[in-house]
Chain A
């Protein structure tokens, strides 16, 4: 239909009428048929491409993903770089009018919420010593949804309950709020903002340039993941504050971009001085004991941890003791954070010639124990000296 030639004038007219009728139907009905939706929204044919012999195949993104995976590995292995392990991150979610758009299915905000959920879990998995807070932008104002905290569940619950969009979004108000909130945290923590921005403009009450300079002065690293197109002010903000700016192509790409922020970024020079922090390693309370939990203010049965300084009971680690303010962690948390400082060296690709000689290969993957008899791509770790499958 798009390649319609000029000669087909008559046919064009007829078609035009047909389409008009369809449009009227659409406008009156609103609810579209599935085949219509496939045309208007999903455009499934675009994920096909023709290969050399003229056959239609789904677009092969695997090579692309592989390249990205390798790239990430390479950047991650720059060992010896100091990284901020204790991060205080605010996730700013844009819930303005633009978040209701349906170019992501079912809508931008639902997709964003889904990715934020995944991100929060991944984040705490990789940075057990860090904390997250949530801020939303709506109707031109910024609202603090949850304060900084270390519990993934509470954040996710708060976010899912608040998924409505309206009004404009104001980047400046968001930054101002986050700036005020992050000013209170201890100086050893790394201040970061991750903004998920749907809108294509920002309606600000004042001069946003000043706010950006303020954030730069406060050493807040601002990163933005855009959902639709590159916006100059976002790019500028990220450049000034040393963050990353990226724009998502589709949902998987969005996921990838968001998760890129999970591993800790290199430390800003000002924080490079070593700092001693007081931490407590609470013991797990004995089973079957009833005590009043300091976080929920109610009596709990069993489980929980006891603060080594004030003996208060907390439910989850890591956290900050509500009573004496001591940072409470467990030693596995520390160990898990530690691996960012000394990442494993990247694996080598195994050339297909070796894969053809089965006796040289071990029978199964060293990592996951899957069979290696029909391998896709293989990697060889020089350190462990064993074969692994591409995830």
Chain B
């Protein structure tokens, strides 16, 4: 269908549109008009992605004079593929209506692991080794050697791509990763380098968060994106954590050992070069004297690392004299590693700011701030000079240099924490030095500054006013939309008491109370006998889950539960968990019924959907607060309070509730689906906790369901499941219109839109 939003004609590939999708588009359009950033919350299952794609491409089409680029960031490769296939559908529709004028180039970009088509390279097991294997075949020195000696292997795809040079471009169209690989095979060109090249020319780019947020990668990939771009972060409820992780480094003993090995290897290489090709080292020295800014003489394919957010003025400076020579630089690194090793010997937990740390490095190891700051670039340059292509071997020293540069660059928003052992296992020494970033706005700041509009959207962004403060920006639009439903297909409940009327909670003083554990067990037992097919349970942590499952086992409750349903448990091992999930699905399919025990903040809570019969009920046992005694968290809380005036309690509750909402949101992925959610903790009934849940859950949370005991919850579940089992009528009954056609939209006009929602 085709309709008008103010001055933009929107092409939407389906015959009907949900009212909330329409409202979403209107808000988005206003944000684009204002050339500002926006925050939009809309529940999953309402077609957020297609609404976004459809509006932004239509917006670009309606303004041919100043074309905007559209950058869409997803969290996983799977989501990337899904987005691209939806875009393909939309593109076909637009082509039908507008003809060739609507032609765009859209493609996904991912790592070599996902794009490489060279069979010998792609067979390597992880991402780093694929990268290294690729470099071994495509690095400029390898190719030079190969030109003289044909027995040295190169990658034919890359050679072909290089040969066709300027002709190697993609014709307009929408390319998923698979399409890219197929096209690469057809033409004999390397899809990875082709895609990387085409990203600069494409109208729509879909890639992972890291390409924009991680300064190391962003420098190469996203450097040349134009300002007139719309950047979308989808599923962005955890964006602050992604930002923080991008700038945090942790160093362990193994890292140091590995780094020492790397340094030794490099010094051997230097000795070898000195004997054979001393000119190279001298050339590098001269280049460094002229400054980093002139580093443009290396071929593009070799630029595989970049500077983590170095301020521009530093780039223009030359590398400090005392690390220009390779041997000197290596000895600096050696001293740094030695110094860190010394710090790790400590018996106590230590916490320091970057300034104090740098001062102590300076006095004890004789390395000043400027040298630290240049470590990253100096290492990069040295590795190129030494023609090291198996970069996966050198990760350890890279980590050390990352650390050094970050510590040398930032004086605020970071802290260095040294812990001699894990808090939970005090007798096993496992010293770790962590450089943790507390300020999510550091990593995302360049994005907000560089691009005209940044859209942050997700199913759970509540409370929506906290995100601008955490990320330190001013949105022009921030709205939360609810779902229009033909029937009440979600049934959230707050369970505060067991059947014996005693309160249940995972509060610290209550959690190991046998009464509470028993009540939780009884709750699950009641539910397995009432709810068909799949049930998902989320616990606050692995250790809590282990404890409570053990106690259920001892009291025989687990056995009773197993009479009704099979029990599967998430573990920290990915393979094991995948297997468990697989069998869980099988058990749901064949009617045996199953329960899946999982952990909030775990892999399952973030990425796995439990839609339809795979999850008819999700129980959230307790409030998933972070481990509040963790030093990193405490330091972050302190920073947030001092800098952004966010109270500790507020942040903790916000963080816990968004995790809880994320967990329970797993069960409902479309409007035809239905599911129940039980928040089993008495603290959920308090207003300050509850009000932080997203609007689409709150609007279904009836007052009568706020303070339930186990037997009441079971009764409500019975009724709800019966009601939902009745035939589903898509078009809606009793005047609840949830699908708008083209005619409806015209009738509605823009004038009375406000009243509708």
Interface residues of A (CB under 8 A from B): 2-4, 6, 16, 19-20, 23, 40, 43, 98, 103, 168, 171, 200-204, 207-209, 226, 228-234, 246-249
Contact = CB atoms under 8 A, between A and B. Distances in A.
9 contacts: A2-B707, A20-B501, A23-B499, A43-B715, A201-B591, A202-B592, A208-B590, A228-B530, A231-B533
Contacts of B564: 200-201
A231 B715 CA distance: 18
- Interface core residue of A19, A229, A230, A249 (most chain B CB under 10 Å): A229
A216 to B, nearest CB: 16
A23 B590 contact: no
B522 interface: no
B590 A4 contact: no
Nearest to A235: B613
Contacts of B592: 201-204
Given A201-B564, A201-B593, A234-B591, A228 B721 contact: yes
Contacts of A232: 532-533, 588-589, 591, 612-613
Interface in B546-596: 563-565, 588-593
A209 B591 CA distance: 10
A248 B532 CA distance: 15
Contacts of B499: 23
B739 interface: no
Nearest to A226: B725
B721 A229 contact: yes
Contacts of A98: 529
A228 B592 CA distance: 16
B591 A204 contact: yes
| Interface range for B | 35 or more
Contacts of B712: 2
A309 to B, nearest CB: 47
Given A2-B707, A3-B704, A200-B529, A230 B591 contact: no
Nearest to A27: B500
Contacts of B711: 40
B686 interface: yes
Q: Which 10 A-B pairs have the closest CB atoms?
A: A233-B591, A247-B725, A229-B721, A232-B613, A230-B725, A201-B593, A202-B591, A200-B532, A231-B532, A229-B532
B703 interface: yes
B591 A3 contact: no
B565 A6 contact: no
A231 B724 contact: no
B242 interface: no
Interface in B687-713: 687, 703-704, 707-708, 711-712
B328 interface: no
A247 B501 contact: no
B89 to A, nearest CB: 27
Nearest to A171: B591
Contact of B687 (A6, A168, A171, A208): A6
Contacts of A204: 590-592
A246 B727 CA distance: 8
Nearest to B715: A43
A292 B500 CA distance: 67
Interface string B479-503: 0000000000000000001011100
Given A200-B529, A231-B533, 15 more contacts: A2-B708, A19-B501, A23-B501, A200-B531, A200-B532, A200-B564, A202-B591, A229-B722, A229-B725, A231-B591, A246-B726, A246-B727, A247-B725, A248-B722, A249-B722
A108 B530 CA distance: 14
A4 B494 CA distance: 13
A336 B124 CA distance: 75
A207 B722 contact: no
A171 B589 CA distance: 13
B506 interface: no
Contacts of B529: 98, 200
A271 B485 CA distance: 42
Contacts of A19: 501
A234 B532 CA distance: 11
Nearest to B534: A232
A384 B725 CA distance: 39
User: Which has the most chain A C-beta neighbours within 10 Å: B563, B589, B591, B724?
Assistant: B591
Contact of B707 (A4, A23, A231, A246): A4
A226 B715 CA distance: 17
A7 B48 CA distance: 40
The CB with the most chain B CB atoms within 10 A, among A40, A200, A202, A207, is that of A200
A202 B592 CA distance: 5
A202 B566 CA distance: 12
Nearest to B686: A6
B296 to A, nearest CB: 61
B450 interface: no
Interface in B624-650: none
B723 interface: yes
A23 B498 CA distance: 12
B501 A230 contact: no
B295 interface: no
B736 interface: no
Contacts of A209: 590
Contacts of A43: 715
Contacts of B532: 200-201, 228-232
B726 A247 contact: yes
A246 B725 CA distance: 7
Contacts of B723: 249
Contacts of B588: 232
Contacts of B412: none
B590 A229 contact: no
B129 to A, nearest CB: 40
Nearest to B588: A232
B9 to A, nearest CB: 41
Given A20-B500, A203-B592, A233-B589, A3 B703 contact: yes
B718 interface: yes
A168 B530 CA distance: 15
Residue of B532, B686, B715, B727 with highest tally of chain A CB at under 10 A: B532
A19 B497 CA distance: 12
Nearest to B720: A229
Contacts of A248: 722
B457 interface: no
B683 to A, nearest CB: 11
Contacts of A246: 725-727
A1 to B, nearest CB: 9
B74 interface: no
B478 interface: no
Nearest to A206: B590
B83 interface: no
B722 A200 contact: no
Nearest to B614: A232
A170 to B, nearest CB: 10
Contacts of B593: 200-201
B138 interface: no
B453 interface: no
B611 to A, nearest CB: 12
A247 B531 CA distance: 14
B497 to A, nearest CB: 8
Given A209-B590, A228-B722, A200 B530 contact: yes
A231 B721 CA distance: 10
A109 B388 CA distance: 77
Interface in B222-281: none
A230 B724 contact: yes
B685 interface: yes
A337 to B, nearest CB: 29
Nearest to A98: B529
A228 B530 CA distance: 8
A208 B530 CA distance: 22
B707 A103 contact: no
Given A226-B725, A232-B588, A2 B500 contact: no
A247 B616 CA distance: 16
Interface in B603-629: 612-613, 616
B582 to A, nearest CB: 16
